A and B are shown apart, each in its own frame.
Chain A
Amino acid sequence: MADNNNAAGEVALGAPPGMPQLDVGTFGNQIFWLVLALVAIYFVLSRVALPRIAAILAERQGTITNDIAAAEDLKVKAEEAEAAYEKALADARAEAQRIAGETKAKIQADLDVAIEKADASIAAKAAESEAAIAEIRAGALVAVAEVAKDTAAEIVSTMGGAADASTIDAAVSTRMKG
């Protein structure tokens, strides 16, 4: 190959056998195309690829941030809903207790009125009965006195004496009082 190089003349500027890297004749060619390639890559990267990737990464970052914010929002909302639910439950419980208490008080009041009424009517009835009993008792005493007088008059006449009505009355009355 070194022979070939020498034969060609163009690239034979002291190219040592075995090291194409040191073949100075090809340097111009390599450098020219390399610079062209680097410029091409630079423009492709700086004009298209890098801004695009930067935009993608920024967009992703934005999306993630937004999603996290939205999730936090929803969490707060859920907590609020829970608190509202708890509050409603507590309110309902308090209301139920209040209603129960009210009802109980009302019933108690009704009951008290009814008991009072019943007591009053019972007392009236009792007084009436007592009056009746007293009357009956008084009636009975009169009857007893009359019977006693009659009986005493009979006894006295049977024994042959003449019964003096006023004396018997006085005796019977005295006995009954004693």
Chain B
Amino acid sequence: MADEAKGGGGLSFHPMDQFQVKPLFGTYGDPIHWYTITNVTFWLALAVLAVLGLMVLTTSKRAVVPGRGQSVAELMYGFVYKMVEDVTGKDGIKYFPYIMTLFMFILCANFLGLLPTSFTTTSHIAVTAVLGFGVFFAVTILGFVKNGAGFLSLFWVASAPLPLRPILALIEIISYFVRPVSHSIRLAGNMMAGHAVLKVFAGFAQVAAIAPVAIIGVMAIYGLEVLVSAIQAYVFTILTCVYLKDALHPHH
């Protein structure tokens, strides 16, 4: 609509361009092999560095009275540790490093994605599906290893009336297999939608008349996205803990 009015340059929306995977060296359109160093590689590496800086560099002094950085690291540690302990119980503590890995990666990747012109790795279904299905397979295998066939009692609701149990079992099985899908799409969808909306508002800022509104909109959505980044990392982690609890204690 406004495209025509503005003529040549015009109002152009490219809200999805930010999600393009392209080689870091070379031009867009160059072949992308599995080993090609792309912007994905770059931002994943930054996420690793962010985790390193947040958790390792800050604690290098091992101060009994923590500084600012160390406080943050301890806060993260305490937060996830308590979550794992509360949700899965004492025997879930040994899986704490894996869950901490997930949490720190998603948190750092989400926040790095909020930097202007950045690439949000967690907005890609390929990335979140690896995380989601990784959790799914790990938890399922762990459930069978720990409980043997007893793990199947997860689907057999012993507290329900007998005639209802087969129906409930069917529902439980469906919901169990939907878990990884919802788990991964929730994160990618939130990230993608938020960033796309930001771009759309930014696109409207090209029109002088509504630019102030658009810029306030960008600011508001940005604030929301900061919230979403943290919350989605939390949600992903706590759901992982819940699934882990099901694997360790399948009996309702």
Contact = CB atoms under 8 A, between A and B. Distances in A.
A19 B33 CA distance: 19
Interface in B28-48: 28-36, 38, 40-41, 44-45, 47-48
A32 B126 CA distance: 10
Given A8-B29, A32-B34, A33-B40, A44 B124 contact: no
B96 interface: yes
A162 interface: no
Task: For chain B, give the interface size range.
Answer: 35 or more
A159 interface: no
A166 interface: no
A41 B188 CA distance: 20
Nearest to A37: B44
B190 to A, nearest CB: 13
| Interface residues of B, dominant DSSP | helix
A44 B70 CA distance: 16
Interface string A6-41: 011111000000111111011111111111111011
A29 B43 CA distance: 13
B227 interface: no
Contacts, number: 145
A38 B101 contact: yes
13 contacts: A21-B19, A21-B125, A26-B38, A26-B126, A27-B126, A30-B126, A31-B130, A34-B127, A36-B44, A45-B104, A50-B55, A53-B59, A54-B77
Interface of B: 14, 16-17, 19-21, 28-36, 38, 40-41, 44-45, 47-48, 51-52, 55-56, 59, 62-64, 66, 70, 73-74, 77-78, 96-98, 100-101, 104-105, 121, 123-127, 130-131, 188, 192
